[in-house]
Amino acid sequence: MPYKKYTLLKKKNLKTRLIKERKSLVDVKDFTEPYGPGSDFNSFVSSLPNFLAAKNLKEFCELMKYARQEDQPIIWGMGAHTIKVGLSPVIIDLMARGWISAIAANGAFMIHDFEIALAGKTSEDVAENLHIGKYGNTEETALFINVALKDGCEKGLGGGEAVGSYLREARLPFNRYSILYNAYKFNIPVTIHPGIGTDFIHYFPNFDGAVTGEMADRDFVLFASIVSELPKGGVYLNVGSAVILPEVFLKAVSFCTAQGIKMENFYTAVFDFHKHYRPYENVIKRPVAKGGKGYYFIGHNEIMLPLLAAMLIKPQGSVVL
């Protein structure tokens, strides 16, 4: 039945326009040819469509190439998941090739990397061991790391440098798989940003909170000093850390701006398999609000990081932005 309150619109009154006059967001010029059997990796990268995440990933790779070409810092913030999915050799190779200027890591990263160097294996089954008193009580890990940190503290080192130095001197059997060992060998700074109580080495008798606090303070100042060099085209990546490293990065940026350093014209990216609040706000949004750009790549680290690494080291011409 008709409703007196409403006057029906008439289709014949619709104003139209020709498609050639309309701005379109999708154009065949951005389409790509399918990847062919037997083609090389460059052909695969070229086969990625020039839309959304694929476009952003290619763009971000070009920014990393530009930063490396111009000797700007490329800082990687990494949680332990990078190690736990077998990516240490990829990270070590990128360090050797000059794609990593510095690393910021949490305490879990240090622990898992150390266990890889020591035993060639890491990562416990928490659910299986938690309620039977067997989770987090690995003797060698806590004993040796806490000794390494105390020795390093006395020498004025930060956490990453202390453990890297210890690994070199101890000549552990799987050092070649250790990011901390190789970073020390390549003279690449690794800063450790622990939260006391988050790592099982903290409840062992030889743990010293004063040592951990002092070294964390040294590492924060070093990290902030490296972050201060990001303007003019540097890059910061947050890989697999949802809380600690995004917070530390934001505070480092704040520390820099409080000293009158303009944090502009740099680029950030998050690689994780979920979208989290802190990485979004503290890495790809707030820090680059005055100039630069942030990228959020959602996907499993064990797929995304080898893809990123391969795109960085593939044969290429000059970098053009």
The residues near 98 (Cβ < 8 Å, ≥ 6 apart) are 68
- Look at residue 124 in the predicted model and tell me its pLDDT: 82
Residue pair 185/100 in contact (Cβ under 8 Å)? The answer is: no
Is 21's pLDDT higher than 60?
A: yes
- Report the 10 Å Cβ neighbour count for 8: 7
Query: How confident is the model at residue 316, as a pLDDT?
Result: 59
The answer on pLDDT for 286 being more than 60 is yes
CA 124/CA 112 separation, integer angstroms = 10
So where are the chain's domains?
56-313
pLDDT exceeds cutoff 80 at 2: no
Q: What is the predicted pLDDT for the residue at 38?
A: 87
pLDDT at res. 163? 98
pLDDT at 317 over 70: no
Mean pLDDT of 214-241: 97
56-313 topology per CATH? Rossmann fold (3.40.50)
Does the pTM of the predicted model rise above 0.95?
A: no
pLDDT band at 151; cut points 50, 70, 90:
very high
**pLDDT range class, residue 70, cuts 50, 70, 90:** very high
Tally Cβ neighbours within 10 Å of residue 21.
Answer: 6
Write down the pLDDT at residue 232.
Answer: 87
Task: Examine the pLDDT at 257 and tell me if it is beyond 90.
Answer: yes
Q: Which of 2, 200, 183, 221 is nearest to 112 (CA)?
A: 200
pLDDT level of residue 133 (50, 70, 90 thresholds): confident
- Please tell me the predicted confidence (pLDDT) of residue 1: 64
